[in-house]
Chains A and B, each alone.
Chain A
Amino acid sequence: MYTLEKHQILFEAKKIRKVFGPTVAVDDVDLTIYAGEVRGLIGENGSGKSTISSIIAGMQKPNSGSMQFKGKTYNPVNMIEGGQLGIGMIVQEKGTVPGITIAQNIFLGSENQFKKYGLINKKAMNQAAKQVLENIGINDVDPNQVIDILDMQDQKLVEVAKVMNQNPDILIVDETTTALSHRGRDIIYGILERMRKEGKSVVFISHDLQETMEHCDALTVLRDGKLIATVEKEDMEENQIKQYMVGREVSGHYYRADNKASYEDQVILDIDKLTTGKGLLLNFSAQLHKGEILGIGGLSHCGMHELGRAVFGEEHIVTGSVTHVPSGEKIENAQVAVKHQMGYVSKNRDSEALVLTANIRDNIVGAGYDQVSQKFGYISPKDEAEYVNRMVEALDIKCASIDQDVKYLSGGNKQKVVFGKWLGRDSKILILDCPTRGVDIGVKAAMYQLMEEMKAKGASILLISEELTELIGMSDRLIIIKDGKISGEITRGEEMTENNVIDLLI
């Protein structure tokens, strides 16, 4: 029996290498995890942190390198074996199965323990599931309910409970907290604390540097697939770590420097008494001016995401209208919107904003066929490549070639492709729904700079976001929506503070 002692080596990876086509995702990384530590794994998008953690969990195999776990060679064929051996992972994506109950989700693949005369004893399973949920501090969920009734955040917590039920020696948490609210985060932090006390280990992956610095005993920084540094808690210094992450010095500011609203009087978009089909947005009116960044904030289900789609003509509306004021035309579908130089960046990047099976070229040029078409609708591959390459260079999209499929790009680079679609055709009105979601600081800074440049050129931006700092940092005016209705509006200046915004939110 292998007993765990604090500060003993629990897991060791040597020269792990993983290659996807032309991309080296993990480049000969050595990683040692000690018993009783919470290790942060941090790095920009595409730095290889998700790849190496999925290798550790057994989700995929490295091309080369070896792993030792509890003193033995560790080479899991899949996540199930990884879990049985004692390494559990909470994945970044949704990991629950829709259409079955919460209890069935928790015991998926291990139902046999409840078998009696060839049948599953549902009562016993529900009872056990309730216990499993309570173990991580969730008391208000009935495990016999179909999981779909839970929102994204609670489904994530069910996954957490499921993984914890296997009693892992190493728990990998991949970007989970970004999807969670305060309560969910506290549950995760509680688990970190418990694991540490029990002499077990956690690999904690997050974009949020503050969060990782606060909760981790040591931080390992990855960049471009290479391990750059491992920093102990007492040596953690924010700017130093940022510099490790991006490979150059990062200046502190990335939001707008001015503290005063500035836009022209001319109204570009008139949103008039909008009510959406699902009733999430009620009688909403607002005006977007030339050169204005209009922030829209609220809690996740307040109706602001529906607003974004509705303004672009892609959401069923019951009453009201959206008018492109300079032309007087009503925006009734995306075709009209695009005709008037509007662009929409969806919150759901992979499912709505990109054709994942298509390459960078087809995705970017997809919004700009009219820009590259010649006589008889002919599109020359050369013009097309030029158009796309211009965007790849302007946005610094990291790729082997424009013929690379977008599904192999990292989150930040994917988002740049999405922006490239609309910048290529010189959009004058951008509707951005959570544009910096799941992208790293480097890309984030680039996006904010881009917004400022566009604003300076007279473009108008509707910025919908769940991040208050971003809204306060960028907006000329900020409208807060609560339960589908406007709960208040703040103009850039002294009044625009986090406290004032939170007052409107709650």
Chain B
Amino acid sequence: MKKKKSINITSYVPYIGLALTVIVFAIITEGKTISGINLKILTNQIIVTALVAIGAVYAFASGALDLSLSGSVALSAIAGVVIGLRYESFMVMIVTTIIVSFLIALFKGVVAAYLKLPIFIVTIVFGGILSAIGLVLLGKETTLSVRSLVNVSNMTWINITFVAVFYLFALYIFNYTKIGKSCKLQGGNLLAASQLGINAKKNIIIAFLVGGIGVALAAIIILLQTKTATATTGGSVGINIMIAIVLGGMPLSGGPRSKMSAAIIGAVTISVLNNGLAVIGVGTGVVQIVRSVVFLVVVFITSLSYRTKLLPR
């Protein structure tokens, strides 16, 4: 029996895409995008997207498209700030952020497991509700500052630790334990997975809870970095994650082809893209358009190769 692992060109496409994005923007901006200062800004942007994406891979892999990530990050951060300011405590702020993001994740998980509803529709609506609750909490304020509570100046090590530890933890569970492996199987074929004796309901709840860790960590990083919570906190996280996962080479429909590396590669690519466009001086409106076009193009290309693979023998 041959044990050769077939080399698949398509698995390198995300890396090539990333390299091209970096090179193109470096050339257009005459090296501004790869200058020291910009790299620091870029890193901060990557971290938030990467953290949420790592967690989101689980639900996506299980076949649950979570479109409420922006709202989840926003509400977790705003709730943390509001409660933290009331008790004037940094710890209370952090703990509140964590608890709120877990409650949101638990709710999504239970709905996905027990209500027979298309989960992406539920999360679209739910994401809107979460953002709205955030706005209600903010009240008349447009910006709540937590400079009185947060006393962190250098984010570098916190950033690296958060991403590295969470990535390794998520990667381990995803690729080397029953939980991660069965998530991928149920994303591929729910009926077949449950006939294997896989507890699909439990899995989907766990998947959303891991997603909750990502949301909590991202919300904390946002608070430490910006030291504020505003109506737009977390606003573009949702679309960034979707694009990141696709650019990272994972199908949005999840299943066995899901991979943890997509979260990191994709987060870096989309952040380089966003950041590069900003450096060029393109307005936020145009950035959104470009981002969406890139998303559609990538989805189109991946669906093309998907179709040819489905041809009958």
Contacts and interface: CB of A to CB of B under 8 A. Distances in A.
Contact of B4 (A352, A357, A379, A400): A400
A312 B195 contact: yes
Nearest to B310: A407
A352 B256 CA distance: 16
Given A314-B195, A335-B197, A359 B256 contact: yes
Interface residues of A, number: 54
B256 A314 contact: no
A494 interface: no
Contacts of A400: 2, 4, 6
B31 to A, nearest CB: 42
Given A379-B176, A408-B313, A314 B194 contact: yes
A364 to B, nearest CB: 10
Given A353-B192, A366-B196, A380-B176, A393 B184 contact: no
B195 A346 contact: yes
Given A50-B313, A377-B177, A378-B177, A362 B196 contact: no
A20 interface: yes
Contact of A358 (B177, B185, B313): B185
Contact of B185 (A22, A355, A402, A407): A355
A389 B1 contact: yes
B181 A366 contact: yes
A362 B178 contact: no
B176 A339 contact: no
Given A50-B312, A378-B176, A408-B313, A357 B256 contact: yes
A454 interface: no
A338 interface: yes
B192 A355 contact: yes
A25 B177 CA distance: 36
B177 to A, nearest CB: 4
A59 B312 CA distance: 9
A479 interface: no
Interface in B224-280: 255-257
B195 A334 contact: yes
Contacts of B312: 50, 54, 59-60, 93
B99 interface: no
B198 interface: yes
B255 A357 contact: yes
Contacts of A255: none
B177 A379 contact: yes
A335 B313 CA distance: 34
A307 to B, nearest CB: 15
A356 B189 contact: yes
A93 B310 CA distance: 14
A352 B197 contact: no
Nearest to A344: B195
Contact of B194 (A22, A334, A373, A401): A334
B181 A362 contact: yes
B263 to A, nearest CB: 20
Contacts of B184: 358, 362
B181 to A, nearest CB: 7
B82 interface: no
Interface in B267-313: 310-313
Interface string A344-381: 10100001111111110010011101100100111111
A422 to B, nearest CB: 10
Contacts of A344: 195
Q: Top 7 closest A-B pairs, CB basis?
A: A338-B197, A358-B256, A355-B188, A369-B178, A355-B189, A377-B177, A366-B196
21 contacts: A51-B313, A312-B195, A346-B195, A351-B191, A353-B192, A354-B192, A355-B188, A355-B256, A356-B189, A357-B256, A358-B184, A358-B256, A359-B256, A366-B185, A367-B196, A378-B177, A379-B177, A379-B178, A389-B3, A393-B1, A408-B313
